[in-house]
Structure 1
Amino acid sequence: MSQAAFITATLDPAAPVPRGISDGQGRATTKRFNVYRNNVVVGLKDALGAGFPAVKSLVGNAFFDAMAGAFVRAHPPKSPVMPLYGAGFSAFIAAFPPAASLPYLADVARLEWAMRCAYHAADAPAIAPNRLTDPAAFAARITLAPAVHIVCSPYPILEIHSAAFGGTSPTGAAQDVMITRPQFDPVLQAFPKGTSAILTALNTGTPLGEALERAPHTLDLTAFIGALMSGGAITHLEDIA
């Protein structure tokens, strides 16, 4: 019996017990294997529920259980580390026909996955805030912390995420949500559509001032720079001669 055959049988409730699995008397252990199979799938679905609580809240327990079950059987874990499970869940949701009436759901899942990535990202000490008081700093290239992420959506996903936990109903439009991690927990802040162009430019080595020129006209640059600093998002500022 191969490992692949065992995994396939574990995730498929209709599959027969793999050959070679028996009790001490050589008899098939169908009931025991079914209990094991059920526990594995339930555990993986619980892991998804813990990792995507807003998605689960938005669709309800029954819908989420069915959707998670379909995902688990199509995408078994590739790592024993459960916090890493669910990387493809947002793409799965986007292609899951029963979720088509909730077009924002996949983006909420992307947001929750980005939050998890930020939470588990490597530590990186931030520069002192006064480093940006030097006008020359805007000609420098900067390095962003590994925890910094931005999720773009045509929907007000931060408001939707908040509403999933009892917040007010969404009233906004498209959002770029920046995630930082100043201490232990991720911090989410919404900015106008197009703000992601700044972080994209910074990540490709564009000097700070030039990157900020790519901001949408509706962006409050002072608030954005403040969010970078308060979020500990800048870990290195290129020395300017």
Structure 2
Amino acid sequence: MPELIDQSAPIRKSRGDGAVVRDLAQLQAAFANAILDPGMAVPSGLTGPDGRPGARRFAVYRNNVVAGLIETLKAAFPVTCRLVGDEFFAAMARVYVAGEPPRSPIMLDYGAGFSEFIAQFEPAAALPYLRDIARLERSWVEAYHAAEAIPLLPSALARVPPAELPSMRLLLHPSVRIVRSIFPIVAIWQINVDACGTREVNLADGSEDALVTRPDAEVEIRALPVGAAAFIEALLAGSPIVDAMKRGMSVGPCFDLACALTGLFEARAIIGFDRPSRRPGRDA
């Protein structure tokens, strides 16, 4: 592994601590930039154990870092990778890695902007739904690592006076994510998440919105009926049921409130409720 030396002239000169810190920061920045850019030379001041510039050792280190980040993306976006193939995905991911180095030591955070990158990646333009599949897979990762919470039983609402239901606010599971798309992304995801899937999806089938949850150990992805995505997004924003219903109806006049609520309970996505002028409640 290449070593950052502390014997370079700029750092050993007798100067204020601020200047030394700036020199070290510049050296570290040059190292970080060169790691992700194969066109850059070995940073000045970087040597191997023999005291000579460690070009070969640095190249090995660089390749290992880039390969590791590509594998991280591949693990987080397996369906995206399957849709384009390993070779294309590796090339696409390499471009992303070069422009978007990790900004946190927590690798769970890496790849948050990958779907937006795909949308601008011209070679992927032939698959216009690829960005939304990547968004769906990113939501899967976020849901998997979300906080735990106990789902609410449907019977909990039976004790709420009907007059209070419209103004209630539903509290949703921390793992809940909504992904909207003009493509049938749930169907595409379902047939590709299993390597043995052979059923074809017709893009002419139109839009499909997804509900992503993890009420227990496994992440679940469900297709939503028309208007349900807008309804759930309003609930996530803190809107009472009546206002969320209006959001759902604005998307589709045929929006069915009862169906949407039943779907949320079936997905075990509701963890509590807030009644007007009362403390938040729940029922185990």
- Alignment TM class, shorter chain as reference: over 0.9
TM-score by length of 2: 0.79
Shift, 1:76, TM fit: 0.5
**Contiguous gaps of at least 5 residues in structure 1:** none
The separation in 2 between residues aligned to 1:27 and 1:56, in whole angstroms, is 40
Identity of aligned residues (%): 43
- SS of the counterpart of 2:46? coil
Q: Does residue 187 of structure 2 align to residue 150 of structure 1?
A: no
Shift, 1:219, TM fit: 4.7
Q: Which amino acid aligns with 1:229?
A: F
For residue 180 of structure 1, what is the aligned residue in structure 2? Answer: 213
Q: Does residue 188 of structure 2 align to residue 160 of structure 1?
A: yes
Q: Does residue 93 of structure 2 align to residue 68 of structure 1?
A: yes
Shift, 1:81, TM fit: 1.5
**Contiguous gaps of at least 5 residues in structure 2:** 1-25, 279-284
Q: Does residue 274 of structure 2 align to residue 238 of structure 1?
A: yes
Aligned counterpart for 1:206 among listed residues 231, 236, 239: 239
The separation in 2 between residues aligned to 1:139 and 1:146, in whole angstroms, is 22
Q: Which of 1 and 2 has greater Rg?
A: 2
Aligned counterpart for 2:49 among listed residues 11, 24, 44: 24
The separation in 2 between residues aligned to 1:162 and 1:239, in whole angstroms, is 37
Shift, 1:204, TM fit: 3.1
- SS of the counterpart of 2:188? helix
- SS of the counterpart of 2:247? coil
The separation in 2 between residues aligned to 1:2 and 1:146, in whole angstroms, is 41
RMSD, aligned α-carbons: 1.8
The separation in 1 between residues aligned to 2:255 and 2:198, in whole angstroms, is 24
Kindly indicate whether the alpha-carbon contact (under 8 Å) linking 1:159 and 1:169 is maintained by their aligned counterparts in 2. Answer: no
Shift, 1:220, TM fit: 5.1
Kindly indicate whether the alpha-carbon contact (under 8 Å) linking 1:176 and 1:191 is maintained by their aligned counterparts in 2. Answer: yes
TM-score by length of 1: 0.92
Deviation sequence 1:79-104 (CA, Å, 0-9, x none) = 11112110000000000000111100
Deviation sequence 1:129-169 (CA, Å, 0-9, x none) = 21233434343112222211100000000111123232521
User: Is 58-67 or 18-27 further displaced after alignment?
Assistant: 18-27
For residue 110 of structure 1, what is the aligned residue in structure 2? Answer: 135
Tell me the number of residue pairs that the alignment of Structure 1 and Structure 2 aligns.
241
